[in-house]
Amino acid sequence: MVIDCYDDSNNGAVISTKRFVELLKKDGHLVSVITTGAPAPGKILLPKFYPFGVKRIMKRMHTPLAIPSRKILRKTIKEMDIVHIQFPFFLAINSIKVARRLHIPVVTTFHIQAEHLASNAGIHSKKFIFYCYKFWIKQIYNKSDLVICPSKFAESELQKYGLKSPAAILSNGFLPIFRPMKVDRDDGLKNKFIILSVGRFAPEKRHELIIHAIKNSGYQEKIQLILIGDGPMKEKLVETGNVLVNPPIFLSLSPEELVYYYNVSDLYVHAATVEVECMTVLEAMGCALPVLIADCPKSATKQFALNQMSLFAKDNVEDLTRKIEYWIDRPDELAKLKTMYYESSFKYHIQQSYEKLLQIYYGLIELKSRSK
C-alpha cells in the first residue's frame, strides 16, 4: 500500500486503506505500507513535507506528503506481488516508475478529486482543476494497470479527462459494526429531533449550510445538531453554531463510539459538494438512519438517495430547511424510510468490496505473470 499519510488522519482514503489492510492481514497476506509517520510493524517510513502555501491547513488535517526515496521504494517493491497506490502525488509517481521497471502490477484508487485540493487551498480556478486532472491522468492513472473507482460517477470523471487504463467500480464499503441497535437517549437529547453529520470540518463539506438551515427553521428549538469530526473549519463552525437555540454538539469519536450516534439520530444530513462516494453516508444507512443529501454535480453521494425528498439543491439553505421540516412533520414516513435505507445498504458491506479487491489483485498478478 502506497499512501502519503497513515497516522492520525480522518481522511476517508486513509480510513478506507486501513480497513482493507486489516482485512488483508487477517487473511494472512503480507502487507507493507509505504508512508510517513511513526514507526509501526509493516510500515516503511519516508520523510514528510508540506507544500508551500498550504502547510498550515495540511498540518491541521494531518495530511503530509511523502518525500520519495527511489532506494527505499526499489528495496520494498521488488519483494511485492502487487502495488496499490492511494494518493496521486509525488510518492505515487515514483512508486509507479519503480514498479513498472520491476514488472510489478500497479492498481491505483481514485480517492481525491482535484476539486478537493482547490477547495482546501482556496483556489477558484477551473483551469487548475483541468490541468490537475490532466497531470494525474498522464503521470498516474494511465500508467496504472487498473484504476479503482469508488462509484460510477468517479469513473466517468476520470474518463472525461482521458482515462485509458481499465477501471473497476469498487465501493469503499462499511464495517459490520455499523448496524441498527436499540439505544437510550441521554437526558439532553430527549424530545429532540437529532440531525447528525460526520466528516472532516473542511470547506467543501459545507457544514455551515446545515447550521443556517436549522436557524431558518420554525422547528429550531426542537432540533439538536451533532457534528462529529475535526478539521480546519472547526473554530468557525463553533462560532457560527452559537447562533442556534441549541448550539451544535461537536465530538471526535472512534468508530465504535460513533455507532451510538448513528442509532440515536433521526436524520443524517450530508451537505458536501465534492465526493467520490462517502463512507459516512454508507455507515448511516447501515445503521438504518435516513439520509438527506446535497444534489451536487461533483458529488457521487446523491446516488444513495431513495427519493426526491432525500435530496436538496446544492448550497440552497431554503431547500434544506424545507426538506428537514418535511421529515420532522412526517415521523411515520421517516420510520418507513429507515427500513428502506437499511436494506439498500446490504450491497455495500466491506466484505463484498474486500473479496472483489482480492479478485482484482489476483487477476492483475496473473496478467503480469503471463506478459513476462
pLDDT in tens, 16-72: 999 999 999 999 999 999 999 999 999 999 999 998 878 888 887 888 999 999 999
Identify the pLDDT of residue 266.
98
- Answer whether residue 280 is part of any domain: yes
Q: Any idea which residue has 450491497 for its cell?
A: 347
- Answer whether residue 4 is part of any domain: no
Could you say which residues of the chain have pLDDT below 50?
none
Identify the pLDDT of residue 8.
72
String of DSSP letters for 127-178:
HHHHHHHHHHHHHTGGGSSEEEESSHHHHHHHHHTT--S-EEE----B-TT-
- Quick: pLDDT tens for 206-252: 999 999 999 999 999 999 999 999 988 999 999 999 999 999 999 99
User: CATH number, domain at 231?
Assistant: 3.40.50.2000
Based on the fold, state whether residues 249 and 321 are members of the same structural domain. yes
The reported pTM is 0.94
Q: Which domain holds residue 321?
A: 187-347
User: 187 is written with which cell numbers?
Assistant: 437526558
Based on the fold, state whether residues 155 and 242 are members of the same structural domain. no
- Answer whether residue 1 is part of any domain: no
Based on the fold, state whether residues 113 and 250 are members of the same structural domain. no
- Answer whether residue 56 is part of any domain: yes
Identify the pLDDT of residue 31.
98
Identify the pLDDT of residue 57.
81
Domain count, the chain: 2
Identify the pLDDT of residue 372.
66
Based on the fold, state whether residues 41 and 133 are members of the same structural domain. yes
- Answer whether residue 106 is part of any domain: yes
- Burial of residue 346 (CB within 10 Å: 0-12, 13-18, 19+) is exposed
Question: Which amino acid is it at 343?
Answer: E
Kind of pairing between the strands at 48-49 and 65-66:
antiparallel
**Which distant-in-sequence residues (6+ apart) come within 8 Å of 330 by Cβ?**
none
